[in-house]
A and B are shown apart, each in its own frame.
Chain A
Amino acid sequence: MTPTLLAALQAARAAKRPVVLATRLDDGTQALLAEDGTHGAALPEALVREALGALADDDSRTVEHEGARWFLHVHNPPLRLVLVGAVHIAQALVPMALPLGFGITVIDPRRAFATAERFPGVTVSDAWPDEAMDVLAPDRRTAVVTLTHDPKLDDPALDRALKSDAYYIGALGSRKTHAARLARLSALGHGVEALARIRGPVGLPIEAATAPEIALSILAEIVAVRRGAAMVQQKAEGAAA
């Protein structure tokens, strides 16, 4: 990789811009592609389309083009994790989530909780959850977990999450709490299908008791959903039934 291309790749990653590095495997010819242009070698239009397709699918792969094999290496920004509630479980969850590659935001308007001291290395927002969520604009690479147990804080965040493409929405709380929550969100106009997107009680059923154990069960479920694991697909079907 040339110094110029390496610098362009590093700049894109630092700016959290999605790019794909195309490498011709027989001679190492390379180009870096983004939605708005190309660095390095000029590529045929068909290959550019394939590269942008790989980027959209978030799937690095090797393709054949006019007799040559090209590796399309997708560099997407980190997956995002939004935690609502700067509570004890959030404190346990953050240091486990960081090595999994998440860019994390913790939202809690209660300023005693949402301090940088309690959450080193992550973005902390003391905005009201619906306002914070509007700014964050969760997409299909974002997971949202509410942890406060307080409808005033959790509900606005869940409302915004349900209106987004977030791939995972989880809400801490017992079955009874969750049923009441679904009734409130239903009153806000969310249908049965939308409400089935919320995983509650949150996390894989591993009988988690302590804050780190609950954090582990939540993160395991987020990974399972992301990877399409059979166990969570069954759970989703059960929730919808």
Chain B
Amino acid sequence: MSTNTDAEDIIATASDWLARGERVAVATVVETWGSSPRPAGSQMAVSETGRIAGSVSGGCIEGAVADAAKAVMESGAPQLLAFGVTNERAWEVGLACGGKVSVFVERLG
């Protein structure tokens, strides 16, 4: 028996920001392999003024996800991001724990 439900209601927080007129994107962990720190369903919300709530890792990839979230809230086109230790491209960020994680980023509203 496992739940992936976050105690923190990230969608509610993101909706509040949206209601105040900010553009908002939400990132969701959709798949994990190995010892990634947050389970599928974990979420992070990002607003256009740079507010962040929640997390999609132990802090390793949040910066990169926030950058992608900014692009997604501009374009409206969702993105599927992949992070893992095997990625050696300089602009990509890896997980120190050795896991891999797939993160879906979408604009809210």
Taking Cβ atoms with an 8 Å cutoff, the residues of A that contact B are: 1-3, 6, 9-10, 13, 23, 25-28, 58-62, 71, 73-76, 78-79, 99-101, 140-141, 167, 226-228
Contacts and interface: CB of A to CB of B under 8 A. Distances in A.
Contact of A9 (B4, B7, B11, B18): B11
30 contacts: A1-B26, A1-B107, A6-B11, A6-B15, A6-B108, A6-B109, A10-B11, A23-B28, A25-B30, A58-B4, A59-B3, A60-B4, A60-B39, A61-B40, A62-B31, A71-B30, A71-B31, A71-B40, A71-B104, A74-B3, A74-B4, A74-B5, A76-B3, A99-B7, A100-B7, A101-B6, A140-B1, A167-B1, A228-B1, A228-B2
Contacts of B107: 1
A138 B3 CA distance: 17
A78 B39 CA distance: 17
B41 A73 contact: yes
B24 to A, nearest CB: 10
A48 B57 CA distance: 29
Interface residues of B, number: 29
B78 interface: yes
